[in-house]
Structure formats: structure tokens, C-alpha cells
Amino acid sequence: MEGIRERKARPVSEHEQPPEDNVPSQHARAQTGWPVSRLLYTLVLLLSTVLYLFWKTNPGALIRLIEPWYDLSEQLPGVSSPEYAFLGADEVRRDAVVDAFKHAWLAYERDAMGDDEYHPLSHKGSNLTDAGGIGYTVVDSLDTMIIMGLDEEYRRARSWVDTKLTFEVDGIFNVFETTIRVLGGLLSAYHLTHDSLYIDRAKNLADRLMVAFSTPSGLPVAMVNLGTRTPIPDTGNQNLVSTAEVATLQLELRYLTELTDDDSYWKAAEKVMQVIRKAVPVPPLAAIYMDPQQGTFVTSPIRLGSRGDSYYEYLLKQYLQTGRVETGYREMYDGAMDAIHEHLVQRTPHTNFLYTAELMPERTQTHQMQWRLVPKQDHLVCFLGGSLMLGATDGGHFSVPPRAEEFVGTARRDWTTGYELIKTCMETHRTHTGLSPEIAHFRTKNDPQAIADLAPNDWYIKGSRQPTAALDARYILRPETVESLFIAFRLTGDSRYRDWGWQIFQSIEKHCKVPTGGYAGVTNVDIVPPELEDKMETFMMSETLKYLYLLFSDSSILPLTENVFNTEAHPFPIIRPTGRTAFT
């Protein structure tokens, strides 16, 4: 510094840049003020530091802060390009899914043909009752074979239905499961083939199931003895019925009426919806249990997972099934979606993942009723992502991909939530196996450090680190995420959904495939190699592989605007509106 001071100054011309040495001293700068560029630079630096520190401590809040501006852009979440997408087949991936189906089916056919369920590790089948089975797996798989063009396999399965299938079984069967899998399977096989064999069997089954509806309210009891045609209440559950179960029979019964011209099925199905419409509280969030004597909701958890899920799914799909004229269903659906957004939709504090929490009823010490928000989400809820996107586009009736201006009212909100939920469901596949657990728990703002340690990305699997994993850690070949990916792909043509579906398929191939044939669930998605469970759920062939196949297929196969999929992935046609379509 001394040296600088001692140097002699030389005169500087007007156009000459002052040499470094001639930069004014601190003192001089203070006198003349900072150049504007420096001031700006300092401000930007300061702002960036503040933003960085804010993001470090609370990233979710920052994203929420910028979201309103981000939202103003025309770019729709979940869509890469505004251009119309040609949804041609991805033949290599599609054919790999067909091979997987054959690997599953041929093992079942070899070891257990006709049995309700298949155990791929012990190479055995089993039935739901001691009195015998009702073709659970065969019937649930028929339409997948038809859709995949597996003619030989289908011919043998049809022959089994023709010669062996009987519902004259003196055993107790769950009304909901039998309806969505067996009745639904028969009806979609009819839809795809027009083979009257299936109407005949469907009517025979439905006539046995109808006794379930003979309650004072019209809400069906949980079970029936198909052979004796006796309704069997669920005594282990205080004779209550679950909301999803009573409200997920409607697409099947309505289509059966359409095919047989017998109104009784449709009337029974619609009566249930009238009872629910009357009983549903404000805000319209449905508790998971109802009383079939009174036709009322019973204080019980509220959730979009088990015992709640397909109630919401069928509100939308009943509206779609009859050509979008039954606005009563659409109103119930929209009301439910508003309430879900207001009370159940949550975000994780650091990673900003969107999920739907559950509400648990509790009594306070002074015996007041209150609801506790529980930050957990069943794998089952992953159906909702695709469902919300489907509802937002009024059943796929928008451009592909949709244009921002096509959304009115709450449609854009639903679309965005749907996409974000799919992203969260994909996040729950970030496990050691790439498979997602049965239940994901999410971190909240005030969780103790122990939870934070378990959940670096704001979510975790309860018990997955215990020697014997909790049931939460299982993956039982469920379809809900790939179901949503299929719908999102059809609505956008965006290849990200195919890539995500392919990732899931590869994880299933790697960890669930049994070399001797069939697929098995895993007991803990976070252990490699995983321990396998000796069961291949029927929805592996009816849903998971069907949705994967459709995800990689040409979009002309079963277009969403002409078909409605029941909750077990069985496609039914859209019914022309008639005098029956009067739920407004």
C-alpha cells in the first residue's frame, strides 16, 4: 500500500481507461458513490444468498412461493410439448409385457387351471372356499388375453368357462370382489367378443349376488353364499359395509342391464348411490364404513385408500359410462374433489411432494369428537393421479395433449394435482428394489429427528428396517401406479409416462418373476434380493400387465373416450344415454 501511495500520478485522457493503479481509493469511491452495476451485482448476490438460505431451510415453501407465477405460463404440468402427439406403439416394450403375461398365465395353467388363486412358489392353486372356486383367476384374465391377441391361450380359457365354470357353490363370497373380478371379467369378455356365453354366465352370477341388496336401506351386505343365495352380513365388522365396496358395483350392474334389458340390476345399483348422496356429510368426504340398516355413514376413518378408494373412482366413471349426461355423479365427484383438496391434500415440508393424508376420528379427554390428520398414503391411492387427469379432461375429450385454455373451473387444479400425485407415486418406487410399498408415510413439519433420519426425501416405510418387516413394506403386484401412467400417457402422449412404466416393469421382472413360472409379491421392497410371498394376485394378469400393455400400445386400442374401465381394469363400452340415465 505504501508503494501505491508513493507513485506519481500521470494525467489520463478522457477516452483512456484508467489503469488499475489509478482506481480511486476507498475514500474517493465513497465520495463519488458506487457505480450502478456494482450496486446491482451486490443486490443480486445478497438476494441469491437469502433465497439459497431460505431454500436450504424450507424448499417446499420456496416452490409454493414461485408457483403462482410458474402457473401463469401456458406450460401444462406433466406435458413436455404442446404439439399433438402420435401415440404409436412401442413394440419392443409392449411385446416384453406380452411375454410376461405368458410367463404368468402358462404357469398358472400348468399348475392350477381353474383354481381361484395361484401360489407360484409351491406351484399350487387354491380356492376361496372349501366348497370350491368360481374361476376367479381364469375369468379375471380373459380380456387381457383377448386384448393381447393370445388366441390359443384365450381359446383354452374360454373352453374352461364353457365347460367347467359354475356358481352353484355352497360357499361364502365377497360381493364386491366377485363383482369387480368375475362379473366384470365376464362382461368385458362379452364387450370384446360379443360371445353370448359370457352374458349367460354373467346373468347367472349376478342373480345370485342380488340377494345382497335385500337390506332395509338397499346398501348391499358384504357377502353372499352363491349356492344357497343367502346374504351374509360381516359379523366380524359389526355388520357394517365399506363405502368403496357398496359403491363399486355400479358400472357392472348397469352394463348388465344394458345387455339383458332387465332393469333390476341398474335399479339396485342406483339405489345405493341415492342413499349415499343423501347420507354424505358436508364437506362431502365419505367415511369408510356405512350401516346397511340405516343407510348412514358410521364414524370411521376418511381416506382414499383401502375401503374408500373406488367410491371416488366410480363417481367419475358412472358419469362417463353413460355419455356424460348424468350430471348428478359429476357433481358428487366434483364436490368430493373440492373437499379432498381442502382437507386431505398435503405437501411434504422439504421436497414438496403432494400426497393425500387420512383423517382419523378421535375422542378428546372431554369426549369431544375430533379428526386427526395422519400423513400416510396407501399404494391404492395411486389410482387417483390418473383419475384426476381423466376427470379434468372430461373423460379424455380434450386435445392430446390438452391445451391450457380447454380447462375451466377446477379442472386445471385437478390436472395438476393428478400429475403431482403420479410424481409422488413414482417417488415411492425409489426403493432398493424399485418397487413401491403397500403404505408410504410422509414427514411433517414438526416430526422428531428420529423420523427425519428415516425420511431423507420426506417419506419412509414403517418397519422396513426391522428384521421382520411390517405389512407396509410389501409389494403385492398392485397396478395403481401403472394404471395412472397409462391414463396420463393417453391424455398427453408424453413419453415420460412410458419410461416410468418401463422402469416399474423392469423392477417387477427383476424381483418378482419366479424362474419356474408366475410372479410373486415381495415382503419388503427395501431388501435385495427380496423375500418372495407365495401368491400371484389375480390383478397381476387382469390389471398390472394389461395397463402396462396398453401403455405401450397404439392409442387406437380401447380409446378412453369410448371405453370405461372398471376398477379391476375390465373395459366396458360407453352406454348411449336412454331413459335410464337419469341420475341428475
Q: Does 310 bind ligand DMJ (CB under 6 A)?
A: yes
Is residue 405 within 8 Å of residue 333, measured between CB atoms?
no
CB of 537 to ligand DMJ, least distance (A): 7
Of 43 and 471, CB closest to ligand DMJ: 471
**Residue closer to ligand DMJ (CB basis): 312 or 583:** 312
486 contacts 545 by C-beta, under 8 angstroms: no
Q: Is 185 in the site for ligand DMJ (CB under 6 A)?
A: no
Q: CA torsion 398→399→400→403, rounded to 10°?
A: -100
* 225 forms part of the interface with ligand DMJ (CB under 6 A): no
Q: Judge whether 538 is annotated as a binding position.
A: no
Helix 411-427 vs helix 383-392: crossing angle, to nearest 10: 160
Which residues sit opposite 242 in a β-bridge? 289
Among 94, 201, 478, 511, binds ligand DMJ (CB under 6 A): 478
Assign 584 to helix, strand or coil: coil
Give the separation between CA 288 and CA 281, rounded to whole angstroms. 13
Do residues 412 and 404 touch, judged by C-beta distance below 8 A? yes
**438 flagged as catalytic:** yes
222-300-371 Cα angle (round to 5):
165
Catalytic residue among 95, 177, 207, 447: 177
- Name the one range near ligand DMJ by CB under 6 A: 148-156, 265-273, 465-473, 477-485: 477-485
Which CB sits closer to ligand DMJ, 351 or 428? 428
From 438, 458, 494, 537, the catalytic residue: 438
Bridge partners, residue 61, by sequence: none
188 binds ligand DMJ (CB under 6 A): no
Instruction: Give the residue closest to ligand DMJ by C-beta.
Output: 567
Q: Give whichever of 292 and 479 is closer to ligand DMJ, judged by the CB atom.
A: 479
- Choice from 284, 479, 493, 530 touching ligand DMJ (CB under 6 A): 479
Residues forming beta bridges with residue 224, ordered by sequence position: 173, 231
User: Which span (252-260, 418-426, 476-484, 501-509) binds ligand DMJ, by CB under 6 A?
Assistant: 476-484
Question: What does each C-alpha distance from 82 to 45, 68, 75 come to in angstroms?
Answer: 36, 20, 8
Catalytic residue of the set 309, 313, 533, 543: 309
Residue 568 found at the interface with ligand DMJ (CB under 6 A): yes
Active site residue 74: no
Q: Which is nearer to ligand DMJ, 174 or 457 (CB)?
A: 174
User: Which residue from 289, 475, 539, 547 is in contact with ligand DMJ, where contact means CB under 6 A?
Assistant: 539
DSSP line for 450-506? HHHHH-TTSEE-TTTTSSS--GGG-B----HHHHHHHHHHHHH--HHHHHHHHHHHH
Backbone angles phi, psi at 220, to 5 degrees: -70, 145
CB neighbourhood size of 10 (10 A): 8
Using CB under 6 A as the binding rule, whether residue 380 contacts ligand DMJ is answered as yes
Kindly give, in sequence order, each residue whose CB lies less than 8 Å from that of residue 482, ignoring residues fewer than 6 positions away: 501, 504, 505, 544, 547, 548, 551
Are the C-beta atoms of residues 190 and 259 closer than 8 Å to each other? yes
Shortest Å distance, C-beta 167 to ligand DMJ: 19
Query: With CB under 6 A as the contact rule, which of the stretches 165-173, 275-283, 413-421, 475-483 interacts with ligand DMJ?
Result: 475-483
Please state the closest distance from residue 476 (CB atom) to ligand DMJ, in A: 8
Q: Which is nearer to ligand DMJ, 464 or 567 (CB)?
A: 567
Q: Which of 441, 481, 449 is nearest to 357 (CA)?
A: 441
Shortest distance in whole angstroms from residue 173 CB to ligand DMJ: 14
Of 480 and 494, the one with the shorter C-beta distance to ligand DMJ is: 480
The window from 86-94, 368-376, 474-482, 575-583 that contacts ligand DMJ (CB under 6 A) reads 474-482
**Count of residues touching ligand DMJ (by CB under 6 A):** 8
> Do the strands 376-378 and 369-374 form a parallel or antiparallel pair, or are they unpaired?
unpaired
Number of C-beta neighbours around residue 287 at 10 A: 22
- Residue 306 CB, nearest approach to ligand DMJ (Å): 8
Contact letters for ligand DMJ, residues 385-424 (x by CB under 6 A): ----------------------------------------
In order of 381, 435, 439, 507, the CA distances from 427 in angstroms are: 14, 10, 13, 14
Q: Active site includes 117?
A: no
Whether the bond into 529 is cis, omega within 30 of 0: yes
Residue 567 sits in the site that holds ligand DMJ (CB under 6 A) = yes
Residue 2 is a catalytic residue:
no
What is the contact surface with ligand DMJ in residues (CB under 6 A)?
A: 310, 380, 478-480, 539, 567-568
Annotated binding site: 567
Q: Just list the catalytic residues.
A: 177, 309, 438, 480
Annotated binding site for Ca(2+): 567
